[in-house]
């Protein structure tokens, strides 16, 4: 069935539970020999084979297959859905067309980030003279509970309904130059959508039919697609994508690819201590739509000055061991920022890092240095992403 038709879930289900959760495809990952790790309250695959091999599937004309089901998926619908969402998030829901997606952020009253999300407008229904749209909100595992609580409290204020479908569905992602051909092979040419667009495909295999939501999306800087399907059909879809040439890819390789793509992660590169506009989520903010929670602070920063610091890219010549949290200094020894994520880039053959830098030092080419383990490493500021 399409996502909009999934049954409503009791919103208090599982309240108070703190046990680490398993993915619906946990047994599939075990059969493939995955090494599991805990992240944001979920056991997820760290790797299946060598990380370098998984990384190469994305960067060297292949396709990596990732289980992103730990992310939160919320359906929001009703004739007042646009109105309520527009009062809560930074981007303009009025401009989001059907079967399209856009980034957005949930700020608090101080303009600080409580969640980064992707909003997808799935379908519109006519109810008399009213249009009743359905939106899918996709957010990181670390913020799914926060987003649910933030929007759930408005469900009694009008025609505004929320349904958490995270436990009823699986989200897979294909990333890499061959992602489109693998999607075409399994789901057909109609599934290969354009950037920021969505397709709902009726997939039939071996006499069994199900609906698959296909979202053109990149989590790695490479071409990619996210696929959402009900749990009962997820293993068949995973197997079909593998048979089409996709390489299972764990979160260790995904982390390298994410940093190369300059994509911030909640809990690592951003949290509720950051003003939204510090986090490099510029495409997630509309400055023309009017009032929303935190809007006054965010607009004032833009029109009356600039942020004090900004998430930026730093590269170091060579491969070094530098940890997140390491302080960054200017060439004259002033502390100007801190590293948030760091990795050795196979593509660039360099150590690369995401870091918050004071505004006066964010220009590309600015020389910086890091002192770690009694060693001093020279680097420079670069534009994001590191890898196109």
Tell me, what CATH number does 30's domain have?
3.30.1360.120
For the chain, 388 residues long, give each residue's pLDDT as a single digit of tens. 788 778 765 444 444 456 899 999 999 999 999 999 999 999 999 999 999 999 999 999 899 999 999 999 999 999 999 999 999 999 999 999 999 999 999 999 999 999 999 999 998 987 777 889 999 999 999 999 999 999 998 887 889 999 999 999 999 999 999 999 999 999 999 999 788 899 999 999 888 999 999 999 999 999 999 999 999 999 999 999 999 999 999 999 999 999 999 999 999 999 999 999 999 999 999 999 989 999 999 999 999 889 999 999 999 987 778 899 999 999 999 999 999 999 999 999 999 999 999 999 999 999 999 988 788 899 999 999 999 8
Number of compact structural domains in the chain: 3
Predicted confidence at residue 318, as pLDDT, reads: 77
Same domain, yes or no: 155 and 182? no
In a domain, 37, yes or no: yes
Domain enclosing residue 222, as ranges: 3-71+168-260
Predicted confidence at residue 13, as pLDDT, reads: 43
Same domain, yes or no: 372 and 226? no
**In angstroms, rounded to a whole number, what is the distance separating the alpha carbons of residues 51 and 130?**
51
Same domain, yes or no: 224 and 240? yes
Beta strand extents in 233-332 (DSSP E only): 247-248, 309-316, 327-330
For residues 216 and 225, the answer to whether their CB atoms sit within 8 Å is yes
**In angstroms, rounded to a whole number, what is the distance separating the alpha carbons of residues 240 and 238?**
6
In a domain, 265, yes or no: no
Same domain, yes or no: 182 and 157? no
In a domain, 268, yes or no: no
- Token pair belonging to 131: 């249009």
In a domain, 132, yes or no: yes
Plot region of 34 (φ>0 → left; ψ -120 to 50 → alpha; else → beta): beta
Same domain, yes or no: 215 and 87? no
**In angstroms, rounded to a whole number, what is the distance separating the alpha carbons of residues 92 and 83?**
10
Same domain, yes or no: 204 and 221? yes
In a domain, 267, yes or no: no
Tell me, what CATH number does 299's domain have?
2.40.30.110
Helix or strand run (H / E) with residue 380: strand 375-382
């Amino acid at each position: 069935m399409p996502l909009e038709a999934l049954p409503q879930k009791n919103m208090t289900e599982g309240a108070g539970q703190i046990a680490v959760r398993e993915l619906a495809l946990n047994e599939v990952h075990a059969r493939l020999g995955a090494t599991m790790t805990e992240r944001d309250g979920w056991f997820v695959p760290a790797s299946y084979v060598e990380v370098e091999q998984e990384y190469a599937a994305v960067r060297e004309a292949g396709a990596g297959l990732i289980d992103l089901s730990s992310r939160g998926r919320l359906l929001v619908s009703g004739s007042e859905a646009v109105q309520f969402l527009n009062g809560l998030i930074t981007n303009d829901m009025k401009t989001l067309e059907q079967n399209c997606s856009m980034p957005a952020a949930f700020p608090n009253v101080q303009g600080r980030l409580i969640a980064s999300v992707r909003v997808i407008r799935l379908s519109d229904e006519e109810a008399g003279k009213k249009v009743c749209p359905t939106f899918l909100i996709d957010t990181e595992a670390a913020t799914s509970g926060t987003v649910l609580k933030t929007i759930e409290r408005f469900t009694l204020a009008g025609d505004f309904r929320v349904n958490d479908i995270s436990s009823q569905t699986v989200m897979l992602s294909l990333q890499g130059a061959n992602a489109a051909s693998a999607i075409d092979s399994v789901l057909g040419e109609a599934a290969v959508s354009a950037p920021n667009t969505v397709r709902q495909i009726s997939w039939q295999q071996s006499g069994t039919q199900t609906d698959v939501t296909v979202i053109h999306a990149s989590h790695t800087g490479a071409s990619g697609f996210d696929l959402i399907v009900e749990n009962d059909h997820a293993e068949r879809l995973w197997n079909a994508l593998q048979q089409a040439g996709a390489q299972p890819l764990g979160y260790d390789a995904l982390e390298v690819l994410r940093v190369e793509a300059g994509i911030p992660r909640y809990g690592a590169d951003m949290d509720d201590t950051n003003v939204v506009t510090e986090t490099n989520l510029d495409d997630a903010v509309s400055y023309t739509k009017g009032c929303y929670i935190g809007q006054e602070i965010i607009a004032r920063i833009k029109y009356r000055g600039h942020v004090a610091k900004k998430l930026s890219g730093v590269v170091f010549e060579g491969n070094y061991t530098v940890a997140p949290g390491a302080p960054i200094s200017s060439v004259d020894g002033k502390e100007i920022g801190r590293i948030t994520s760091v990795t050795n880039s196979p593509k660039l053959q360099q150590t690369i890092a995401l870091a918050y830098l004071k505004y006066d030092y964010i220009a590309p080419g600015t020389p910086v240095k890091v002192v770690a383990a009694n060693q001093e490493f020279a680097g420079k500021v670069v534009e994001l992403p590191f890898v196109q």
